[in-house]
C-alpha cells in the first residue's frame, strides 16, 4: 500500500484493493484517513456488496434522508444526474449531514457511470484552513456555535425542490436543524477544525442572520483558497472516501447532456465537541 499526497488536499492510496483488504491494511488506512481526511483510490473492483462490506469494516452505516437509494441496496444512496437534468446533487460546497446532531463520519463514493469529461469533485481541508486563519478571525469564532439545517434545501419550497432534481428526492417531512461548535476537536486526529459549511450552516447561535452572513462569508472565502483544495478527476474504478468532519466537497456540474451516476455509502458519526 502506497500513500502519496494529492494536490493540496487528500491522498492517493495505491497498491491495494478495497474489496480484499487485510486487517493490517485496514489499520493503515484508518491512520491515513485520520491524517489526510480524504483518500482517493483508482482501479478498484467494488460492486455494491463489496462497497457495503468495506463500509461496514470501517464503521456503522447511516442512510441519507433525502436521496433515492438503489432498489436492491437501501443503504446505498444514488447520486444521479440524468442526461436531461440540469441540476446536480452537491453542486455547491458542503459537508454531508452536518444538519444531524451526530453528523456523518464520512462518505464513500464509487463511480458507476461517468461523463466523457468533466464531473470532477472538488475538496477542501478544514483542519489546514483553520490553522491558516488569521488570528483576528480565530478570536472572533472562539466559543461560537452555529446552526446547521437542511430545510432551505429539502423542505417545502427548498432550493432543491425548485429544480429538476425534485422528483428524485424524498424526505420533505424529515427536515431539521442541529447546532455544533464552530471550532471542533477532530475525534480521531485531535486537530482543531473549522466546522461550518456553505451548504448547511445558516447562522451563528444567538446572532442575527445578516451579522452571521457577513462572518460566514469571510470564513468561506478563506477556506476556498486554492492552497487548501484539490479537484479529483474520476475514472472508471475510482473511489473516494472523505471525512465529513474536516472536509468540504462539491461536484462540478460541467457535463450537461451526459449522465453521471455515483453510489454513496455514508458512515455514522458522533456528536462533535468544541476544541
Ligand atoms: O457527485 C459527487 O461528486 C459528490 C456529490 C455529493 O455531494 C455527495 O455524494 O455527497
Ligand atoms: Fe455531498
Tens digit of each residue's pLDDT (9 = 90 or more) over 230-269: 999 999 999 999 999 999 999 999 999 999 999 999 999 9
- Residue 142, CA distances (Å) to 130, 134, 243 in order: 12, 13, 23
Asked if residue 201 has pLDDT above 90, the reply is: yes
Average pLDDT of 266-274?
98
Cβ 111 under 6 angstroms from ligand 1: no
Task: Give the model's confidence band at 67: pLDDT under 50 very low, under 70 low, under 90 confident, else very high.
Answer: confident
pLDDT of amino acid 69: 87
pLDDT of 68 > 90? The answer is no
* Cell (9 digits) for 258: 451526459
Q: What pLDDT band is residue 79 in, cutting at 50, 70 and 90?
A: very high
Among 38, 55, 121, 265, which residue has the most ligand 1 atoms within 8 Å of its CB, making it the best to mutate? 121
Cα 194 from Cα 127, distance rounded (Å): 7
Strand-pair partners of 246: none
Average pLDDT over residues 204-211: 97
Whose Cα sits closest to atom 8 in ligand 1?
90
- Cβ of 175 closer than 6 Å to ligand 1, yes or no, is no
As a whole-number percent, the residues of the chain with pLDDT over 70 amount to 100
% of the chain beyond a pLDDT of 90: 93
What mean pLDDT value characterizes the chain? Answer: 97
For residue 107 and ligand 1, the question of a CB distance below 6 A is answered with yes
The answer, yes or no, to whether residue 143 has pLDDT greater than 90, is yes
9 lines ligand 1 (CB under 6 A): no
Residue 25 per-residue DSSP state: H
Rg (CA), the chain: 18
Average pLDDT over residues 62-87: 94
Minimum-distance ligand to the CA of 90?
1
Domains of the chain, first to last: 2-267 (3.60.130.10)
In 3D, which of 227, 265, 269 has the Cα closest to residue 46? 265
Of the two residues 121 and 7, the one the predictor is more confident about is 121
What pLDDT sits at residue 181?
Answer: 98
Dist. CA 195–CA 93, nearest whole Å? 13
What per-residue confidence (pLDDT) applies to 213?
Answer: 98
* 165 close to ligand 1 (CB < 6 Angstrom): no
Give the integer Cα–Cα distance in Å for 20 and 176. 38
pLDDT at 132: 98
Closest CA to 64 of 49, 50, 53, 80: 80
Amino acid at each position: 500500500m502506497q500513500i502519496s499526497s494529492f494536490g493540496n488536499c487528500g491522498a492517493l492510496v495505491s497498491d491495494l484493493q478495497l474489496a480484499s483488504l487485510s486487517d493490517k491494511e485496514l489499520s493503515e488506512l484508518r491512520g491515513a484517513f485520520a491524517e489526510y481526511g480524504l483518500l482517493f483510490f483508482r482501479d478498484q473492483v467494488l460492486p455494491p456488496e463489496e462497497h457495503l462490506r468495506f463500509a461496514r469494516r470501517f464503521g456503522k452505516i447511516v442512510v441519507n434522508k433525502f436521496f433515492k437509494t438503489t432498489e436492491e441496496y437501501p443503504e446505498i444512496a444514488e447520486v444521479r444526474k440524468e442526461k436531461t437534468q440540469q441540476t446536480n446533487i452537491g453542486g455547491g460546497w458542503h459537508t454531508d449531514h452536518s444538519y444531524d446532531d451526530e453528523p456523518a463520519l464520512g462518505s464513500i463514493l464509487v463511480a458507476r457511470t461517468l461523463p466523457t469529461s468533466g464531473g470532477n469533485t472538488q475538496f477542501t481541508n478544514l483542519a489546514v484552513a483553520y490553522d491558516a486563519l488569521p488570528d483576528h478571525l480565530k478570536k472572533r469564532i472562539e466559543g461560537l456555535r452555529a446552526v446547521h439545517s437542511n430545510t432551505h434545501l429539502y423542505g417545502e419550497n427548498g432550493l432543491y425542490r425548485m429544480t429538476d432534481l425534485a422528483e428524485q428526492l424524498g424526505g420533505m417531512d424529515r427536515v431539521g436543524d442541529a447546532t455544533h461548535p464552530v471550532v471542533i476537536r477532530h475525534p480521531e486526529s485531535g486537530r482543531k477544525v473549522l466546522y461550518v459549511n456553505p451548504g448547511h450552516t445558516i447562522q451563528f447561535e444567538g446572532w442575527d442572520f445578516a451579522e452571521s452572513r457577513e462572518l460566514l462569508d469571510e470564513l468561506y472565502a478563506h477556506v476556498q483558497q486554492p492552497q487548501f483544495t484539490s479537484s479529483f478527476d474520476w475514472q472508471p474504478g475510482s473511489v473516494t472516501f472523505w471525512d465529513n468532519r474536516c472536509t468540504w466537497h462539491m461536484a462540478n456540474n460541467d457535463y450537461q447532456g451526459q449522465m453521471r451516476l455515483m453510489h454513496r455509502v455514508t458512515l455514522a458519526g458522533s456528536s462533535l465537541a468544541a476544541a
